[in-house]
């Protein structure tokens, strides 16, 4: 993560908003994944398809975050998101959780750094 992030108030506000929102959606994806992995047969297949579509929607959110947080690590987050969609599409559900956990941690870090900036700047 870039040392000078966030650089100004606007960047801090937008970064906090988007990173916190994506973090919440990643937490939801993690819970959905647990449900999908507990299913079997056709039920699992159908739930897997819905999970893939959820991840595709989440990918659009990650793209929005990358547009606001111009940090090299966001490229990695976006790349991992694309990989997760492929993994879910191939029903490789067992391998997804660790990547979701890393992404949740990355988004939490962005949100925390932005929040610290806003508190230091006495905006919160």
**Residue 123, pLDDT score:** 86
- pLDDT tens for each residue of 34-72: 999 999 999 999 999 999 999 999 999 999 999 988 888
How far is it, in rounded angstroms, from Cα 109 to Cα 62? 15
For the chain, domains (ranges, CATH) are 9-120 (1.20.120)
Closest CA to 7 of 54, 51, 65, 71: 71
Closest CA to 12 of 67, 68, 74: 68
pTM over 0.95: no
Tokens read off for 108:
């939490």
């Amino acid at each position: 993560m870039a040392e000078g992030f966030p650089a100004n108030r606007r960047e801090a506000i937008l970064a906090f908003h988007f990173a916190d929102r994506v973090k919440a959606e990643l937490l939801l994806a993690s819970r959905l994944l647990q449900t999908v992995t507990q299913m079997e047969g056709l039920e699992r297949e159908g739930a897997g398809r819905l999970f893939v579509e959820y991840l595709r929607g989440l990918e659009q959110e990650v793209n929005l975050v990358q547009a606001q947080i111009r940090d090299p690590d966001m490229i990695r987050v976006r790349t991992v998101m694309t990989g997760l969609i492929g993994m879910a599409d191939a029903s490789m559900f067992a391998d997804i959780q660790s990547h979701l956990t890393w992404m949740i941690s990355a988004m939490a870090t962005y949100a925390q750094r932005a929040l610290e900036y806003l508190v230091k700047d006495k905006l919160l």
